[in-house]
Amino acid sequence: MENVYVLGTGMIKFGRYPEKTVPELGGEAALIALKDAGIKIQDVEMFACGNLYQSNAMVGQRILQQIGQTGIPVINVSNACATGSTAFREAYMSIASGMYDITMAVGVEQMGKQGLLGGAGAGDPAYSTEGKMGSGLMPAVFGQAGIEHMRKYGTKLEHFAKISVKSHKHATKNPFSQYRNEVTLEDVMNARMVGYPNTLYMCCPTGDGAAAAILVSEKKLKQLAGGRKRPKVAASILTSDPYTDRTLTLPDVSTLTRRASKQAYEKAGIGPKDIALTELHDCFATAELVHYENLGLCGDGEAGEFIDKKGGVHPSLGGFAPVNVSGGLLSKGHPLGATGVANICEVVWHLTQDERAKDRQVPNAKAGQAHVIGLGSACTINVLTI
């Protein structure tokens, strides 16, 4: 396998852009990434595009119609919430295999006020439990994961609320975040209940967004980096759920992350204590808490104590093992196809001390990981090192 590096990144501020189209949003992020890499679209040999809600509409080709059609192969990816990160992995694998030297990945989504998302098999009476055995909507699914942790380990509502407070505080330093408002513990706990124990401020907002990355082989890195330090993709892992005796009324949101995490650490040759920052899939505060344990940031049943000791909090705020210093999905937003690439951009910026992360820079960052799951299921973990 060839070594692969991230040469350039681009991201637009997450928010709502009703006046723009999906290809326009994706094209804007792609142009930023190309400029950051110091190359032109004519230099790109392969393009992977992640988008969920227009997955039948050849979004990748339509983005190239915005920024330049050069006849290169285009792969359009749809993989639930892991859509963008799966597109990144396709771009990575195309270089790692030795087939190409320069590839581009774009994740883009336009959701606006899309509303709550159903679970796998929604509408199929063989799979849908909606209204019959609880709810398959995502706030309920991840609420169930939180309740299970509470039952098993004695985790308190306050632990989930502290995650929301932390992430909103982090977002005040991120100009790309959809929301940049602080909230207090009382604000979070007294907010409208959406799916117990997740209150409104423990749920990610919908919105629009796009992010892009330019990947290169080691040979091209030496030609194009101009002496700049660029992060290596030390591991790019994709998993799905193995069969377990869990039922679809209580989806397993942990096994595929644990399997991916084990593979990622082994491939990268490092462990969780070597990770300077983690951008993980906090679609709900309950999800972030269980993923602390799934990613090995703390032991099983120790997430509550981890939070109480300020685990996951930026070092500048007195914390350690920082998680979602971007503000995470809870504040940055979760335009599904864009999220995976955006998480990678955040890690890249800290490893390279990029100006785009200067107000929230994690000191001495040498390794970081970006994690996304999509129920159904897919999990990606990309470990980057410098």
| Residues designated as active site | 81
- H helices of the chain, in order, are 22-37, 59-67, 83-96, 138-153, 157-171, 185-190, 218-224, 255-268, 285-294, 303-308, 328-332, 336-351
Asked whether the beta carbons of 167 and 327 are under 8 A apart, the reply is: yes
Q: Which amino acid is at 20?
A: K
Asked whether the beta carbons of 204 and 177 are under 8 A apart, the reply is: no
Query: What's the CA gap between 234 and 150, in Å, rounded?
Result: 35
Length of the chain: 386
Query: What's the CA gap between 361 and 148, in Å, rounded?
Result: 35
Of the candidates 129, 352, 56, 378, the one whose C-alpha atom is nearest the C-alpha of residue 225 is 352
Tokens for 326, please give them.
């971007």
Asked if omega into 377 is within 30° of 0 (cis), the reply is: yes
What phi, psi does 311 have (nearest 5°)?
-65, 140
Of the candidates 38, 41, 10, the one whose C-alpha atom is nearest the C-alpha of residue 26 is 10
DSSP 189: H
For the beta carbon of residue 201, count every other beta carbon within 10 angstroms. Answer: 25
Classify strands 277-279 and 367-374 as parallel, antiparallel or unpaired: parallel
Query: What's the CA gap between 329 and 145, in Å, rounded?
Result: 18
